Structure 1
């Protein structure tokens, strides 16, 4: 049976929190059998994640499937779910996150409506919420002043995104065929590949719909979480890897026909390069600044116009100030942005 939507849940030693994620999807979608949940056990060995995944499949065989694979990292687990999806649409939900019941119910009804009309909407965008568990605060990211509400539109219809408002993986529900045809290169054993997922497929999305509901609840606060500041600093090489994939995906100014999408993608790529610059400065790796310079040199050789925009625009200049004083100013600016936006 063709499903309306597949929810992919990558799990790696997720036993302590995966049940909450799965239950939130089941309850929010009313245990509907046109919904599919694919739990991808990404080679978990430290807890009973594999057994839990199998138990969920036995309990709801019409809805839930468990897939076990050798450890390949977050991107490999996401793409395993995409390859096996029976849904017309696909949404990834990480195992330590969850969905809001009313909002995901509204999303499901809208997707059923599109399918019933025979309308191939390529991308449905919804809001997400940073759930800061340590201080019990929330930060909602919505797009109601950026995107048209209540109608199908194209990239040419969107407005200007603020720096904290970019379209992260949490906001995206893709048509499965778009994801499969996008040629996503999600490098194995690499964190932060969600940036690739929220970048490479966009030019293939010809029709878009914004549903103004807060579907995704993004957990912030676990010490071993990939967006934890210390963890991210220790994995700056993962961001270098991600930046290279995004860099070589497009010659943005030549390949992207929509002027507004071109501007959005260049701005987003600029932020990724800025992250590389900031965390290279924060890193204790002796080769960090040399590797950062190699990354900038590679971009310059690949596409000089992209290089000029990313390196010599306001963001690039602010995050690459020279010398000891420049480094201190760059890091002070990062800390201020961190407190303002509370993104980790």
Structure 2
């Protein structure tokens, strides 16, 4: 059995997917690479995938499907995965070679020791266009380094510090156990990917290496501010799905529950601030409707989200309140640089 399955969702990715695939290939025979061609029609993505599969038949699978969006491509990756662990790498991102070796060594060590690892976490780097000093998202302040730990061992996360798809390697069977099935034709489903499985995660391991290189800066990228505003209905949809997924009674571990609530606070803030930045009456009404949805779905959760610092910051009354919210967002984004 392969130690790691790496799924690479590709949609018209010919201009950059080779760099991603080549970086994943550095894992050698320990790795299975699943290139998912998500109905590409505008370039030769399908041909590139097939060429790599033919050249590296013991490592690479090329799977072609009708366009279903990023979430469906991840679903397809999980369905085809035979590795003990599972990692998603977007086709415009790549993996650091030295860190990759360390991750694989760690996964092999833990599997040989019969450790029941559910989730491995590593750092990721914002490879932002035009920025010389790259920002690294590490977790050494919040997690024990290179030792098995549970939710009880996790310390305080910073406001801008949370686990993304870039950070995680899941046990493949855990994703199947929790019946993860990301929605089709929807952007921002990576948030669901790192949210829904969490109540099933018991044993974790953190490797303090800069494993994942997260490219950011293309004008058409989903996290580009203008694109996020254009696709706000999809962000709202993901937000609502995550609210529906959260159940106080089902999340037994208090620290896991606390982390999931904080993640929802961030999601609500992002959706709300994008609607404020849209600066239309329709957008303002959508923001009100989103918060009403949360209240109707889960009053206890609504109170946790609405009456937090982040909840208050995006619900200041009137035009002047929205102006303050915008200023706060711009200041935070200047220092964090998340889009």
- Residue 166 (structure 1) aligns with: 162
2:297 paired residue number = 302
Partner of 1:6: 5
Aligned partner of 1:146 among 122, 139, 142: 142
Mapped pair 1:328 → 2:323:
yes
Q: For residues 234-313 of structure 1, what are the structure 2 equivalents within 5 Å? A: 234-251=230-247, 253-283=248-278, 287-313=282-308
Partner Cα distance (2:326, 2:91) in 1: 31
CA distance in structure 1 between the aligned counterparts of 2:145 and 2:231, rounded to whole angstroms: 38
- In structure 2, distance between residues paired with 1:120 and 1:63: 25
Structure 2: 5+ residue stretches without partners? none
Query: What SS does structure 1 have at the residue aligned with 2:179?
Result: coil
- By how many angstroms is 1:121 displaced? 0.3
Q: How does 1:87-102 map to 2 (within 5 A)?
A: 87-102=83-98
Partner Cα distance (2:131, 2:211) in 1? 21
Q: TM-score, normalised by structure 1?
A: 0.96
Corresponding residue for residue 58 of structure 1:
54
**Separation in structure 1 between the aligned mates of residue 146 and residue 29 of structure 2, nearest angstrom:** 27
Cα distance in 2, alignment partners of residues 254 and 120 from structure 1 = 24
Q: Distance in 2 between matches of 1:120 and 1:53?
A: 33
CA contact (8 A) 1:128 1:218 kept: yes
Within 5 Å, give how 1:189-268 maps onto structure 2. 189-251=185-247, 253-268=248-263
Name stretches of at least 5 consecutive residues in structure 1 with no aligned partner. none
Offset at residue 286 of structure 1 (A)? 5.0
SS at match of 1:260: helix
Q: CA RMSD in A?
A: 1.1
SS at match of 1:13: coil
Match of 1:17 in 2: 16
Aligned to 1:128: 124
Aligned position for 1:314? 309
Shift of 1:292: 2.1
CA shift, 1:285, in A, is 5.8
Q: Deviations over 1:241-277 (max 9, x none)?
A: 11111001122x3221111111111011011011111
SS in 1 for 2:311: helix
Cα distance in 2 for partners of 1:114, 1:209 equals 9
Partner secondary structure for residue 237 of structure 2: helix
